[in-house]
Amino acid sequence: MSEETLLTRYASSEEERLEQEVRPRVLNEFVGQESIRQQLTIAMQAARARGDAVDHILLYGPPGLGKTTLAQIVAAEMGGGLRTTSGPAIDHQGMLGSLLTGLEPRDVLFIDEVHRLSRPIEEALYPAMEDFAFDWVAGKGVGAQAMRLSLNHFTLVAATTRAGALGNALRDRFGLTFRVDFYSPEDLCKIIYRSASILGVPIQEDAAPLLAARSRGTPRIANRLLRRARDFAQVQSASTISADIVEECLAVLGIDKHGLDGSDRRVLQLLCQTFAGKPTGLGTMAASLQEETETLEDVIEPYLLRLGLIARTPRGRVPTAAAFELLGLPTSRAVFPEELVLPLESTPTSDR
């Protein structure tokens, strides 16, 4: 293994370790998502009073908003263990059976990317969620026998960026369904101050709002930018993270005052210049930008929609007048319905 590969792996593991350090451990430490916090508090208090597992929970929304953290908090608050997996990783019913039968009472099974479960695995989850039983077939051919194993009462916490991709049969089996939304700048400031305290990095009052404003409403990005600003402060032998250090850091990272980075601007340039504002399919965009469609749809697009820079139409994605203005292009080139136009400063609370 080359030295470069070793350094890359070390840097990656160090980032993951730091990310785990700043994650809230209990619900009282979790900032934002007030409605979710209130409902989860009531549900978990009631479940503890009954001595039972809390209802199954579906969390959906863009990545980086705390879905995994909420699963960890539910496990900790309920006094159970946490088993973590993802939809693509469960590739046969035997693996699912192994996960389910290994759960203790009030344990949490967290399945990320639940929309990518295969149909047979999804159907095998139905009795597990409803009856706490796992059905399987022993043997083959005429000697095959249907068997049922009883399971301990557990909580399934499932996360997805595409709630619409879930079948109704699976979605209806969750007792609690929450949309995890983008965070306000005020909540992001609280997260940044808390993370800075945990990391032992002093940050000035005028610096935190700058980081929050460029974090795309996403705690994961806010914490990542904080760590980069810490690096800049360390290199400059500064005792605190100041506004000047944050501005310099963001300039080097190519993040503008709207929180847009190079990937965002490439998307806008493609729609506004290459395709001259005409509706463009997601597959065409992905091929032109040499990006995965999942990256465009799940990571880049939600924030551009939230800022009102692009819109979805039955014929494809189109840029709004605000996108042309941001790029310094004449808005007369926009060829889309007037009702889709949103001003740049418009920041809806949802990307739907």
103 and 89: one domain?
yes
Residue 133: give its domain's CATH number: 3.40.50.300
Its domain, for residue 116, covers 33-179
Four-point Cα dihedral 164, 166, 172, 173, nearest 10: -150
d(CA 32, CA 178): 13
pLDDT per residue as tens digits for the range 184-226: 999 999 999 999 998 888 999 999 999 999 999 999 999 999 9
Distance CA 220, CA 258 (A): 17
Judge if 153 and 194 occupy the same domain.
Answer: no
Q: Report DSSP state, residue 142.
A: G
* Range 106-121 average pLDDT: 92
Q: In angstroms, rounded to a whole number, what is the distance separating the alpha carbons of residues 48 and 44?
A: 6
Note whether 295 and 198 are same-domain residues.
Answer: no
pLDDT at residue 330 in the model: 84
Query: Is residue 336 assigned to a domain?
Result: yes
Q: Which two structure tokens, joined as six digits, stand for 333?
A: 């080139």
Model confidence at 342: pLDDT above 60: no
Question: pLDDT value at position 344?
Answer: 43
Q: Are residues 218 and 279 in the same domain?
A: no
The answer to the question of residue 93 being in a domain is: yes
Residue 82 near residue 108, CB atoms below 8 Å: yes
Which of 145, 179, 213 corresponds to the end of one domain? 179
The confidence score (pLDDT) of residue 141 equals 62
Model-wide pTM > 0.85: no
343 has pLDDT over 80: no
128 confidence band (pLDDT: 50, 70, 90): very high
**Predicted confidence band at 328 (pLDDT cuts at 50, 70, 90)?**
confident
Q: What is the mean pLDDT of residues 233-249?
A: 92
Domain boundary among 179, 205, 236: 179
138 and 197 belong to one structural domain: no
Would the pLDDT of 137 be above 70?
A: no
Residue 319 belongs to what H/E stretch?
strand 316-319
Please give the pLDDT value at position 4. 41
Please indicate, yes or no, whether residues 209 and 73 belong to a single structural domain of this protein. Answer: no
Above 70 in pLDDT, residue 345? no
**Residue 213 sits in a domain of what CATH number?**
1.10.8.60
As a whole number, the mean pLDDT across the chain is 85
Note the pLDDT of residue 270.
Answer: 93
How many domains does the chain fold into?
3
Residue 350 lies in a domain: no
pLDDT value of residue 91: 86
Cα distances (angstroms) measured from residue 77 to each of 11, 37, 39, 126, 211: 31, 12, 14, 25, 31
Instruction: Inform me whether the pLDDT recorded for 168 exceeds 80.
Output: yes
Statement to judge: residues 82 and 105 lie in one domain: yes
Q: Per DSSP, which regions of 6-63 are E strands?
A: 57-60
For a pLDDT cut of 70, what percent of the chain falls above it?
86
Residues 95 and 150 in one domain: yes
In a domain, 28, yes or no: no
Residues 42 and 138 in one domain: yes
Higher pLDDT, 25 or 176: 176
Lowest pLDDT segment from 151-165, 232-246, 301-315, 334-348: 334-348
Q: How far apart are CA 20 and CA 211, in angstroms?
A: 20
CA distance 227 to 64: 16
The number of C-alpha atoms within 13 Å of 225 and in the hemisphere containing its C-beta is: 37
Ranking 131-135, 143-147, 346-350 by mean pLDDT, the lowest is 346-350
pLDDT band at 139 (very low <50, low <70, confident <90, very high): low
- Residue 178 main-chain phi, psi, to 5 deg: -130, 135
Active site residues: 67-68, 112, 161, 220
* Chosen domain end from 130, 150, 179: 179
Q: Mark whether 225 and 305 lie in a shared domain.
A: no
Asked if 174 and 310 sit in the same domain, the reply is: no
Whether 348 maps to a domain, the answer reads no
Choose between 54 and 164: higher pLDDT: 54
Residue 246 lies in a domain: yes
* CATH code, 292: 1.10.10.10
3-state secondary structure of 330: coil
DSSP H helical ranges for 102-146: 119-131
Where is 304: in which H helix or E strand?
A: helix 301-306
Q: How confident is the model at residue 294 (pLDDT cuts 50, 70, 90)?
A: confident
Paired tokens of 239: 């005792």
Tokens of 201: 């990095």
Contacts of 198 (CB under 8 A, 6+ apart): 21, 22
pLDDT (0 to 100) of residue 339: 45
Nearest to 285, CA basis, from 317, 311, 326, 323:
317
Structure tokens at 81: 């263990």
Instruction: Evaluate whether residue 197 is within a structural domain.
Output: yes
Residues 125 and 170 in one domain: yes
Whether 328 maps to a domain, the answer reads yes
